[in-house]
């Protein structure tokens, strides 16, 4: 079990003045066993349900995240985010050892966005030329656009640098013109 409770105390604003509350933020994480009426659906790992309530005293907003494995294989996880502004349901599915798909639906508006992650490391070879952390991520919002992020990986995985490329393609006409893409290339350093 990994249960915890956290309280962040207010230290004042950037000018050193005290804010209205002495508590800024609270958060808890509780791992609960699978309810008895769902025991037949429990997977081999039997991790149960995680409940993570939180409250932001500065903004006056409460949030609760419930997550748990679904199905007998343990490859699917349901995440329910209950929020004052917009609650969402995400189903995270490991298609195999390298691919994950995670559609998210807004419970307020019904809007669906899709996230897809591919681990490009492939097989576990023992060569020193293997790059650790190579991946391709896609975030697809049918009403806005597509974001692709490719991370080249770090040779040997023991520190160094890797290339990171991000491409944003809007699916609607923008101020720059129709289908104006934004491509960024950068270097990430790991010490």
CA 56 to CA 46: how far, in whole Å? 32
Whole-number pLDDT of residue 128: 47
Whole-number pLDDT of residue 27: 93
Mean pLDDT by 10 residues, the chain (191 residues): 82 57 87 68 64 91 91 86 93 92 95 94 53 86 92 72 89 68 86 69
Burial 138-167 (b: 16+ CB within 10 A, else e): bbbbeeebbbbbbbbbbeeeeeeebeeeee
Whole-number pLDDT of residue 126: 44
> What is the 8-class DSSP label of residue 127?
-
Geometric angle at alpha carbon 185, from 154 and 191, rounded to 5°? 35
Residue range 144-166, pLDDT digits in tens: 899 999 988 776 656 677 889 99
Residue closest to 153 by CA, chosen among 182, 103, 118: 118
User: Do residues 153 and 132 lie in contact, with contact meaning Cβ atoms separated by under 8 Å?
Assistant: yes
């Amino acid at each position: 079990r990994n249960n915890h409770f956290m309280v962040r105390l207010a230290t004042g604003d950037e000018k050193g003045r005290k804010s209205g509350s002495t508590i800024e933020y609270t958060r808890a994480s509780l791992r609960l066993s699978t309810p008895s009426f769902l025991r037949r659906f429990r997977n081999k790992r039997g991790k149960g349900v995680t409940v993570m309530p939180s409250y932001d005293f500065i903004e006056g907003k409460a949030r609760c995240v419930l997550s748990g494995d679904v199905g007998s294989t343990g490859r699917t996880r349901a995440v329910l985010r209950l929020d004052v502004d917009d609650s969402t349901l995400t189903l995270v599915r490991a298609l195999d050892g390298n691919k994950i798909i995670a559609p998210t639906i807004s419970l307020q508006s019904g809007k669906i966005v899709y996230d897809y992650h591919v681990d490009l490391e492939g097989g576990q070879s023992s060569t020193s030329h293997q790059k650790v952390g190579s991946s391709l991520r896609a975030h697809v919002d049918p009403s806005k656009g597509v974001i692709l992020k490719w991370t080249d990986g770090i040779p040997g995985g023991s520190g160094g640098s890797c290339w990171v490329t991000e491409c944003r393609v809007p699916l609607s006409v923008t101020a720059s013109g129709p289908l104006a893409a934004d491509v960024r290339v950068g270097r990430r350093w790991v010490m």
